[in-house]
Amino acid sequence: MADVKARLEQMLKDDHASGGGGVTNEQLKDAFGDEFDDLPAIINDLINSDKVELLQGEGRTTLAYQWIPEDRAARLGELTNEQRLVLQVVERADTSGVWLRDIKSATSMQQQTLNKALKVLESRKLVKTVRSVQQKTKKLYMAYDLAPTREVSGGPWYTDHEFDHEFVAAIKTVVVGCVKALGNCTLDDIHTAVLGTKVSTVPLSTSDVRTVVEALLADSQLERLHSDLGERFKATKPCVNTDWVAEVPPGQCPWPRCRAENGGTCNAETCLYLGAWLDESA
């Protein structure tokens, strides 16, 4: 029995170290054969001693067993049944998080008991609170080691739960500059170039860069090209050179003296300002 337990523990440890999703009963049957019947008692003992946890719930079609690292096992130690129940509800929500009212509904706990359980779980760094960009006044609860989904955090475009207009404008400028430097280029080319500028302190995925590119296409700052080589992009050029606009005189004479000397009226033939402008332009 001791040999079976040691082999089981090593199998679970190897699965955890490789980032696996736990070991299923089918895998255990294949690995242990006739010794599989000895495993339930061993597994129950490991679960009760906080060395193994049972994975189940939404998104899983089969049960699985996962090894618990020592640091997490220490944090799980001496949790009450109520606290463990709350932790299970929060962990099932995964990276989407769960609202307080949904935890209360799932556990049927009194508010005072629930609040105490959450406080203990937060102090042991098993649970944390995050705020959604969609519901800024409400807190979501999530497993401590998980990062919230982009639907919750807003992704790289949000800072402290607020849309970061300055950062987005800066990224747009960088993208246009990269496309101008690259010329006819792909989305991957743009993504690589943007990362090379180190303009962002947060990771930007290809999808993030595509979002910026699509916005620049809508602003007519970039142009989409379709060819045998696939989708490509280039920077657009102004259809009309508008530099001359700064050199055109205003439509209304800005000199009061002109109207005063012409009986209160001013036209192109008698305008003193226009005459002076024409002399400078000659």
The tens-digit pLDDT sequence of the chain (282 residues) is 678 888 998 999 898 888 877 888 899 999 888 888 889 899 988 888 888 888 765 555 678 888 888 888 888 878 888 998 999 899 888 888 899 999 999 999 999 999 999 999 999 889 998 888 777 777 889 898 888 887 787 778 777 777 788 888 999 999 999 999 998 899 999 999 999 988 888 888 898 999 999 999 998 899 998 877 788 999 988 665 555 455 555 556 666 666 656 666 666 666 766 656 565 554
Strands, E, within 68-177: which ranges? Answer: 98-99, 127-131, 139-143, 158-159, 162-163
Tokens coding 3 = 């040999």
Residues 6+ apart with CB under 8 A from 238: none
pTM over 0.95: no
DSSP-derived letter for residue 33 is G
End-to-end CA distance of the chain: 105
Residues 6+ apart with CB under 8 A from 157: 163, 164, 167, 168
Q: Supply angle C-alpha 16, 62, 36, rounded to 5.
A: 75
Of the candidates 22, 16, 99, 10, the one whose C-alpha atom is nearest the C-alpha of residue 57 is 22
